[in-house]
Amino acid sequence: MCAKVHRLGCDQEVTPTSVVYQTRRSKGHVCAGLDAAADRDGQHRVAAGAWPRRRLGSVDARKHLALAGSSVLVGCARGLGGQGRNATRWITHGYASLRRWDCHDAAVSGSSLDVAVVGAGVVGLAIARELARRGARVAVFERSGIGSGASGVQPGGVRRQWGTPIACRLAGESADFYAEADEHLRPSVSLGFRRCGYLFLAHGEETLARLTANVGVQNKAGVPSRIVTASEAAELVPGLGVEGIFGGAWCAEDGYFDRPQGVVEAFATGLDIRIQDVLSLDELDAGSVVVAAGAETPRLVPGLPIVREDRYLFYSEPIAERLLEPLVISAERHFAAKQLGNGRVLASDLAARGDEAQQPQWRAHVKAMVEELLPVLTYVSFPLFVRGEYDTTPDHQPILGQVDEGVYVAAGFSGHGFMIAPAVARILADVVLDGESDPVLAVLDAGRFADNRLVPEPQLV
Ligand SMILES: Cc1cc2nc3c(=O)[nH]c(=O)nc-3n(C[C@H](O)[C@H](O)[C@H](O)COP(=O)(O)OP(=O)(O)OC[C@H]3O[C@@H](n4cnc5c(N)ncnc54)[C@H](O)[C@@H]3O)c2cc1C
């Protein structure tokens, strides 16, 4: 007797028992096989290499289970002496014992996940949210707590001004998402995205030429940025000290969230988040794993060139008067400042690295730059000092995509992971669930370092 099941949208005649089997962690894919039968002793066995099969996204496979009906057999490739790649290989070459599961149980209450995400920073959470939104069973494994890495420190800057097309693309898609963040993320209190504008200053011709080249790249990517003269810069930032300034680059669409931690919380809302220090990816019972563990990522995926870089921020107490709306950055003076939505003024010595004992020197530098560039802030003091870490790659671009069968990485954000998290989430969800590879993945893959295909990003803060 033949049963009719739907497979990948096409009907197919199969022998008595239709079989879909799934390796416990076949690294991102479910192998679906048909035409297998129970053998005489009642053990369900399949010769995987012998019949048609195709690698499916796990959600597709669950849809397939639901379509195939309750007599479907689901095998977990247990007892194969290994998981993941090993299990897949074993099935290719031999027989797998299968367990009878009710189809509904397999889809709803089976113990294994479609995707395990490591890291509850903004990137891991955004990816997990996108996966869950598309119907995947996903959990986030976090060692310490939500936003306990760089995501809990970042002040919520979102800009479109970059010096490489790939960064403009990721930032552009994400900025579009963030412009409607309240609609997308439905927070209980508005996240307050403000388009305050970013002004990059040039104190010399060389810097102005570099900013001009970057604006060219941005305009090609549809970013409405422009080069401004020193006097235009002073109009954009009232009170700006323009002496010695050659001009700058300005984009009015760049901005800040009033509640950056509200964004992290909104991505996390509704997710299955488990406190677990993941020591090895083999601990995770899931079809695929996405490692978004920030600077810790190389511990789980050895060989990735991600290094920690200290970063320090100074904050004032909240000030009622609005003193400085745009973010003002001088790369040459390694200085940036901005008044946040809560009234605090944020200022940074962008060159501050290493031993925190140097704090007085960094503070003195910030004060000197305030007096030179933003005298309106002269009487602002900065009692709060906050330390954070960038997870930096050699070209200051993230590492995205598959690094092993069923293992994906989203890390190495080099100081801009918050502002590109929405695009990264969409791209990772596409490839993990549907095998769709966005062109970004061919550029920002882990292999670019060995192949000398670096994409150095010049417009850093
Ligand atoms: C001072 C400062 C200012 C910044 N300003 C901005 C800004 O304005 N705009 C912007 O876009 N970006 C900014 N950034 C960068 C931004 O914060 C990061 O790029 C972004 O938060 C990275 O998010 P993530 O989820 O990749 O990593 P993280 O936030 O670091 O999260 C990684 C998580 O993984 C967890 N983890 C690690 N190892 C394990 C393990 N083995 N098992 C379980 N869990 C594990 C950690 O506990 C952590 O919670 C700033 C960063 C700093 C430090």
Q: Could you tell which of 117, 125, 143, 173 is best to mutate to test the pocket of ligand 1, judged by most ligand atoms within 8 Å of the CB?
A: 143
**Does the beta carbon of 35 sit less than 6 angstroms from any atom of ligand 1?**
no
Residue keyed to tokens 């990735």: 304
DSSP state of 146: T
DSSP state of 316: P
DSSP state of 366: H
**Does the beta carbon of 460 sit less than 6 angstroms from any atom of ligand 1?**
no
Q: Could you tell which of 125, 127, 130, 151 is best to mutate to test the pocket of ligand 1, judged by most ligand atoms within 8 Å of the CB?
A: 151
**Maximum Cα interatomic distance, the chain, rounded to a whole number of Å:** 90
Q: How much is the CA Rg of the chain, to the nearest whole Å?
A: 26
Closest CA to 373 of 228, 242, 249: 242
**Does the beta carbon of 284 sit less than 6 angstroms from any atom of ligand 1?**
no
Phi, psi of 69, rounded to the nearest 5 degrees: 100, 175
Q: Per this entry, what is the length of the chain?
A: 461
Q: Percentage helix, strand, coil, to 5, in the chain?
A: 35, 25, 40
Token pair, residue 182, equals 């309240």
DSSP state of 23: -
- Give residue 119 CA to ligand 1 midpoint distance, Å: 9
Confidence (pTM)? 0.81
Q: Which residues pair with 37 in a beta bridge?
A: 45
pLDDT in tens, the chain (461 residues): 332 222 222 223 333 333 333 333 333 233 333 223 333 333 333 333 222 222 333 333 333 333 332 222 222 222 222 233 223 322 222 222 222 222 223 333 346 999 999 999 999 999 999 999 999 999 999 999 999 999 999 999 999 999 999 999 999 999 999 999 999 999 999 999 999 999 999 999 999 999 999 999 999 999 999 999 999 999 999 999 999 999 999 999 999 999 999 999 999 999 999 999 999 999 999 999 999 999 999 999 999 999 999 999 999 999 999 999 999 999 999 999 999 999 999 999 999 999 999 999 999 999 999 999 999 999 999 999 999 999 999 999 999 999 999 999 999 999 999 999 999 999 999 999 999 999 999 999 999 999 999 999 999 99
